C-alpha cells in the first residue's frame, strides 16, 4: 500500500478521533507528526539494561543474583518485556530497577511513525485528501 493510500485511510477513517475533518492540511500534518504516542521498543542494548539497575538494589543482591543480572544484561539487544520479566525473578517485582526497565521498553513516537509514514508534509496531506 502506498503511503498516500495509508494516509488517505487514516484521514478518512480517523481511528483515533483526532478530528481530521475539521483540520487544514497543515493541521493534519502537525497532528500526525506530533510525538504523542507510546510504542513498545523492539530491543534494549546492554548499556541500557545495566543503566537501569538501581545501585542500592543491585548491592543488596547475593553474588549469584548479581552474576545472573549482569549475564542477562550482557545479552543485549533483547526484547524489553522478556528482559524485564526475567530480571523480575532476580530483583523484587516492585523494585526501582524493574520500573526503570519497564519504562525503557517504551518510547514516544508520532502517529506518522506509528503508521510507517515518516514525517508527513502538508502537501502530501492535500494529495491524500484530493484523491480520497
Asked if 10 and 35 sit in the same domain, the reply is: yes
Q: What is the pLDDT of residue 53?
A: 96
Residue indicated by cell numbers 543488596: 60
Domain range holding 33?
3-40+108-130
Residue 101 has a CB neighbour count (10 Å cut-off) of: 26
Q: Is 54 helix (H, G, I), strand (E, B) or coil?
A: coil
Residue 70 and residue 55 in one domain: yes
Provide the grid cell at 88: 523480575
Question: What distance in Å separates the CA atoms of residue 14 and residue 102, rounded to the nearest whole number?
Answer: 30
Q: How many domains does the chain have?
A: 2
pLDDT in tens, the chain (132 residues): 468 999 999 999 999 999 999 999 999 999 999 999 999 998 889 999 999 999 999 999 999 999 999 999 988 778 898 898 899 999 976 799 999 999 999 999 999 999 999 999 999 999 999 876
Is the pTM of the predicted complex or chain greater than 0.75?
A: no
The reply to whether 80 and 99 lie within a common domain is: yes
The DSSP line for 98-128 is HHHHHHHTEEEEEHHHHTT--SPPHHHHHHH
Amino acid at each position: 500500500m502506498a503511503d498516500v493510500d495509508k494516509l488517505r485511510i487514516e484521514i478518512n477513517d480517523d481511528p483515533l478521533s483526532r478530528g481530521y475533518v475539521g483540520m487544514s492540511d497543515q493541521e493534519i500534518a502537525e497532528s500526525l507528526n506530533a510525538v504523542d504516542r507510546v510504542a513498545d521498543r523492539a530491543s534494549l542494548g546492554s548499556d541500557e539494561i545495566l543503566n537501569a539497575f538501581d545501585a542500592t538494589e543491585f548491592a543488596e543482591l547475593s553474588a549469584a543474583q548479581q552474576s545472573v543480572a549482569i549475564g542477562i544484561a550482557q545479552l543485549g539487544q533483547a526484547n524489553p518485556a522478556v528482559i524485564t520479566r526475567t530480571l523480575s525473578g532476580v530483583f523484587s517485582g516492585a523494585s526501582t530497577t524493574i520500573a526503570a526497565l519497564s519504562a525503557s521498553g517504551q518510547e514516544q513516537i508520532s502517529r506518522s511513525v506509528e503508521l510507517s509514514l515518516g514525517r508527513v508534509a502538508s502537501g502530501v496531506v492535500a494529495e491524500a485528501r484530493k484523491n480520497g
